[in-house]
A and B are shown apart, each in its own frame.
Chain A
C-alpha cells in the first residue's frame, strides 16, 4: 500500500506539471497526462499489469511498467527541450527590443546620429 501512495503522488505531480505546461506544448501535455492516467491505473490494480502485459506481448507486468516509465521519461525530456526553445525565443525578443530601443534612444540624442554608439 505504501508504494501505491508514493507512486500515486508522483504520478499526480507529473500530471499537474504537464497540465501547467499546456500552453507551451499542448500535444505533449495531453500525451503526458494520458500516460500518467494509465500508470495510475496500473499502480492501483497491479494484477492487471500482467494481463495487459501478456496482451501486448510483454512477459511480466513489471517489465511493462518499466517500459512505460522509460516512455514517460522520454516525453518529459522532450518537454524540457521544448521549454528551452521557448526560452530561446524570449531571449531573442528581449535582445532585439534592447537593440531597437538603443537605436531609437541614440537617434533622439542630439549630436549622436548613429544608434548603437557607446
Chain B
C-alpha cells in the first residue's frame, strides 16, 4: 500500500493517532497533522460517534478496533500497522487537539540525529491553559515514572513522541489503558534506547480537559502498573 503517491514508502514518518469518540475535533486534527506529515494512521478504538468516517474523510488511514480497548492498545495497533507500511519513524499524537503538529518536525529531527526516541515535554516547552491540579499530578507522575523506570524526565504522560523504526519494532505494549505511557518509558530504558526530550506546546481547552485524564485515573494507573508487575 502506498498512502502518499510519489513518496518512497520506505522513507516516511507515520503519525499514529489513537481515538475514542473524538468526532468533534478529529477532522481538524487529522487535517492539521497531514499538512506537516501526510501519512496519518488513525486507530478508532471502538468509537460510536462516527469518528472513523470523519477521520477517513479528512484523509487518514483508519483502523478500527471492534470494541473499546484503551489508548495503549490502540497505540500498539497503530504502531504495528505503521511498521507494516514500512515507516522509518513513528509519531504518536493525541486526538483531542491539544498537540501542535508544528512540533512534529523537531521530534523527527531528533531521530535523524540518531536518537531512538524523541519525547515531547510540555514543561521544557509550553503548557498553555494548564490547570494547577494537572501540573501537580504530572509532577507526581514524573517521580512515579522515575521510581518505576529509572528514567528521569521533565514531563510524564505526554502523548506526543516519535520513535525510530528500530525502537518501535522492539516495543510491545501490554498495558491497554493509560499506564502505557509509563510502560513505553520502561521499555525504552530496557532497550537502552537513546531518549531525547523535545520542547513542545500543549494547548489545554475545555474539550481536551474534559476528554483528558482525571485525578482519580492517576490512582488507577498506579494500580494497573503494580498489578502488571505482579503478573509478569
Contact = CB atoms under 8 A, between A and B. Distances in A.
A25 B176 contact: no
A49 B52 CA distance: 64
Contacts of B174: 89
Contacts of A96: 65, 69, 73, 76-77, 80
Contacts of A86: 231
Interface stretch (A8-16, A67-75, A99-107): A99-107
Contacts of B62: 114-117
Contacts of A81: 227
Contacts of A25: 231
A103 B67 contact: no
A92 B63 contact: no
A73 B77 CA distance: 37
Interface in B14-72: 43-44, 52, 56, 61-67, 69
Interface residues of B, number: 25
- Chain A interface residue bracket vs B: 20 to 34
A96 B81 CA distance: 10
A4 interface: no
A78 to B, nearest CB: 9
Q: Is the interface of A mostly helix, strand, loop or mixed?
A: helix
Contacts of A60: none
Contact of B73 (A95, A100, A102, A113): A95
Contacts of B56: 114, 116-117
Interface in A26-58: none
B71 to A, nearest CB: 12
In the complex, which of the residues A89, A92, A98 has the most CB atoms of chain B within 10 Å of its own CB atom? A92
B221 to A, nearest CB: 15
Given A85-B231, A116-B63, A100 B1 contact: no
Contacts of A89: 174
A98 B76 CA distance: 13
A103 B76 CA distance: 15
B229 interface: no
In the complex, which of the residues A85, A103, A107, A113 has the most CB atoms of chain B within 10 Å of its own CB atom? A103
A102 B69 contact: no
A95 B69 CA distance: 8
Interface of A: 25, 81-82, 85-86, 88-89, 91-92, 95-96, 98-100, 102-104, 107, 113-117
16 contacts: A81-B227, A91-B67, A91-B69, A92-B73, A92-B176, A95-B65, A95-B69, A99-B43, A99-B66, A99-B77, A100-B84, A103-B61, A114-B56, A115-B61, A116-B44, A116-B62
